Structure 1
Amino acid sequence: MDKLMGMNKEHEVKRACFHDFWIETSDSGSHMCHFDSHGRLVVKVVNDSRPLVQKIVESFLNKFFPSGYPYSVNEGYLTYTQFRALQHFSSAALSVLSTQSVLFAAGLRPSPAQATAVSWILKDGMQHAGKIICSSMGARMDSEPKSWRIFADLLYDLGTGLEVLSPLCPQLFLEFAGLGNFAKGMAVVAARATRLPIYSSFAKEGNLSDLYAKGEAISTLFNVVGLGAGIQLASTVCSTMQGKLIVAPLLSALHLYSVLEEVRAAPVNTLNPQRTAMIVADFLKTGRVPTPADLRYREKLLFPDRVIEEAGSVIIGQPFRKVVKNPSKLEEWRALFPDEKYLIHRKIKHSEMMLENSASGEDALRGWLVAAFAADKALIGLSELDVLVAAHRKMEKVFPCFLSEVKARGWHTDQFLDGNGSRLLAMANSGTTYRYPLYRTLTPIRLPLLTSPALQICTTSRRCASPAPHS
């Protein structure tokens, strides 16, 4: 009896399972799958009752936007994509006009279609020299990808403009074409090098490859559309030089405006000098840390090296010989703060900071906070060293909370991208490598505004001792 009941229960479970179904979706459509009463898999195509317009829109999104959009990307991706499409459209149309002009200057009279085909050949030559020169500036592009992206398109339009103007000086055809391709070669390297940091800022679910692939698909699509528009313009309005001189500047203006709005929409979340200063300034003024999306429209893209007074007016990456002109300053700093990976020199209107080669984004944040606190007018009258000691102690009190908030707001603190600024390396002496080359014993320092005995620097403290050698 028990055996019979067990068989009936098993049959009921199987029968229940046979009625289960699931739906699989893909780019080609949706399929409903289930098992029939005999345990065989049955697959049916789910009829799509959506309106035709909705089908087209969703098909476009599937092909040109990352999977899971808009929930799989960070804020601003749609704005970035819209202006990126407009940028590629105007750039492609402008390239047709410039190529046609170059061939006119060379004595040819090509059709617009021929100009489009030959444009691929004219990218060689001087363009390679431009690529080689620009490739040496990769570290600067990591630090300021937005600024270099704008610079890349400015160079591209400069090169294109020289090509458009070449028929006016046919005797200088080689010079115009060479300089134009040289500028465009630099533009190609800068544009490609800054593409990945910008895409990375939108990645939200480890989907960087998907973002990159869909972004390039959009670029290709609108490049083709732009080439078609350029051919049409070259056949009509721009068939004369006067037409080119009117339309080309308009396309260039549209191109540069698009790339400006495109990069402004990107919430880059790495630390560089400008973003670090803005984070510190906001924290000191409001007590909160801004997100990458909060800062994206506040960044200065054309002149990013500005100093921010509220963050201590820090200038970073100066040569060591300019930061430390007196060896005793370095000795005093290293004796007081042997664990810090930055060096600060206070001046009247700004602070100069130099990082060690192994310094991370956290070290840069520590240094910026010290510089900002050192600029407090309440410390006027103290010696430079006393000011830095007071500022360092204040930094130590707020830094744990500040750092946790920085990370929680989405900033990457594992590295600091300062471009090609100078950094301090370890020094070697008599075959032994020391992290800090200069030390000396200090007498106790009493701070007028900080009278607690705990705030005195003792000569017997381990922090004042010479460091252990590192092999």
Structure 2
Amino acid sequence: MEKKEPDKEEASQRPVFWIETIDNVSQYCQFKSERTLNTKVVFDSRPAIHRVAESFLNKFFPSGYPYSVNEGYLRYSQFRTLQHFTSAALSVLSTQSLLFAAGLRPTPAQATAVSWVLKDGMQHVGKLICSNLGARMDSEPKSWRILADVLYDLGTGLEVLSPLCPQLFLEMAGLGNFAKGMAVVAARATRLPIYSSFAKEGNLSDLFAKGEAISTVANVFGIGAGIYLASTICSSIQGKMVVGPLLSVIHVYSVAEEMRAAPINTLNPQRTAMIVADFVKAGHISSPADLRYREDLLFPGRIIEDAGSVKVGRPLHEVVKPSKLQQLRDIFPKEKFLINRGSKWTDMVLDHNATGEDALRGWLVAAYAKTMEKSANGPSDRVLEEAYDKMESLFPALLSELKVKGWHTDRFLDGTGNRFAWQ
């Protein structure tokens, strides 16, 4: 039997409907005709606690969370809250101690207000000095972010201890604010690359705004806790010497966990070496999320043997002797890197216009050369040539997979600024 086709006119008259949701209110929408739209408000029937939780997410998390951010953002936000809470509490205690050392007997509320005046002076000197280290912060934002909080706690510690030596009030307060000035610059300079690592949909401004909201709330509660502690347990210097270090430990631990959760996707020496080591050993290409907990945040400049023991950033005149320079240029005539193998490590120097792709190519050559050298009997120059040929055959597949994994290969952040250019 022939199948009966549905009447076109009947199909065109079928109702077209959809549901539009804004915050906690849903609207049921339906076309009655080409010019008529009926809407019906449907209230959220979920329990009140669910609605409160969703409202919280809308205020303190980016739109579309969790699909609009990269992995690790929730853990980062949790420890960021704890970090700002402890930092604000420490600030109140340190300011109260400074005023005691100056011969005043302030209330906790006065300590909070005067803190804005005491952070000037030597703090500006610290800011100027730290501003010259911006390139290194681009290369290792996680390590510098942790160092910033260590410097902040060091400055706070000096302020807390100032009542023990009131005759050195100016020196203690000056050094404390100097350390805090460096901490402020380092923390602000590393904020953008950290947030960028979570911006999955180009929503950097939304991430920044919601991060500031979390910080503000945590600071308010931290100041409140600091005022309470200053009025009770920490009203004496002995109490501050007990509570201060405890808050400082929690503060530094929180920022370390924040940084470990951030999946930074730019290439620097450590991350490039880890990518190459995984690829050479197992043919596996790691994503930024795979490497985040393996990064060494205390000693980021360590040499990774499985990646060819490469050290990058030394000046060209210290790496290559004039008699060997032309020989290396002949081995890599079209490349924007030079490799010189030594007894302890392999030096790599990059051209001024070298990108992350160029650094990866050089790193792969060094890693393959180190592997081949263990079984080869020929001269090292021949090993470099064979390693270069192998890199050329495998590099396109590696580069394609790296981009799929989310790595940015258009730049290489070595942090030293030591590059070369042929005249």
Change (3 A) 1:45 1:113: farther
Contact map agreement 1:318 1:421 (CA 8 A) in 2: no
* Larger RCO, structures 1/2 (Cα 8 Å, 6+ apart): 2
Deviations 1:185-214 (A, max 9, x none): 111111111111111111111111111111
**Aligned partner of residue 343 in structure 1, secondary structure:** strand
**Aligned residue identity for 1:176:** M
Structure 2 counterparts to residues 300-379 of structure 1, below 5 A: 300-325=296-321, 327-376=322-371, 377-378=373-374
Query: In structure 1, what is the Cα distance between the partners aligned to 2:257 and 2:140?
Result: 16
What is the deviation of 1:348? Answer: 1.2
Partner of residue 145 from structure 1, selected from 130, 141, 144: 141
What is the deviation of 1:38? Answer: 12
Contact map agreement 2:24 2:44 (CA 8 A) in 1: no
Deviations 1:17-39 (A, max 9, x none): 8x655444334744445577896
Matched with 2:108 is 112
Query: In structure 2, what is the Cα distance between the partners aligned to 1:315 and 1:37?
Result: 70
Q: Is 1:55 paired with 2:51?
A: yes
What is the deviation of 1:421? Answer: 3.8
Q: Is 1:198 paired with 2:210?
A: no
Compare 44-53 and 295-304 and name the one that shifted more. 44-53
Deviations 1:128-176 (A, max 9, x none): 1111111111111110010000000000000110110111111111111
Structure 2 counterparts to residues 29-428 of structure 1, below 5 A: 29-33=25-29, 44-325=40-321, 327-376=322-371, 377-378=373-374, 380-427=376-423
**Aligned residue identity for 1:302:** L
TM-score by length of 1: 0.84
**Aligned partner of residue 301 in structure 1, secondary structure:** coil
Matched with 1:444 is none
What is the deviation of 1:336? Answer: 2.9
Deviations 1:399-439 (A, max 9, x none): 12222222222211100000024100232xxxxxxxxxxxx
Query: In structure 1, what is the Cα distance between the partners aligned to 2:166 and 2:374?
Result: 68
**Aligned residue identity for 1:353:** M
Deviations 1:284-309 (A, max 9, x none): 11111111111100000011000000
Matched with 1:469 is none
Compare 406-415 and 41-50 and name the one that shifted more. 41-50
Query: In structure 2, what is the Cα distance between the partners aligned to 1:362 and 1:294?
Result: 20
**Aligned partner of residue 330 in structure 1, secondary structure:** helix
Change (3 A) 1:426 1:157: same
Contact map agreement 1:379 1:387 (CA 8 A) in 2: no
Contact map agreement 2:126 2:182 (CA 8 A) in 1: yes
Query: In structure 2, what is the Cα distance between the partners aligned to 1:421 and 1:379?
Result: 36
Change (3 A) 1:119 1:41: farther
Query: In structure 2, what is the Cα distance between the partners aligned to 1:35 and 1:378?
Result: 74
Contact map agreement 2:332 2:338 (CA 8 A) in 1: no
**Same amino acid, percent of matched pairs:** 70
**Aligned partner of residue 348 in structure 1, secondary structure:** coil
Matched with 1:431 is none
List runs of 5+ in structure 2 lacking aligned partners.
1-8
User: Larger C-alpha radius of gyration, 1 or 2?
Assistant: 1
Query: In structure 1, what is the Cα distance between the partners aligned to 2:17 and 2:116?
Result: 53
Query: In structure 2, what is the Cα distance between the partners aligned to 1:338 and 1:179?
Result: 52
Query: In structure 1, what is the Cα distance between the partners aligned to 2:45 and 2:387?
Result: 67
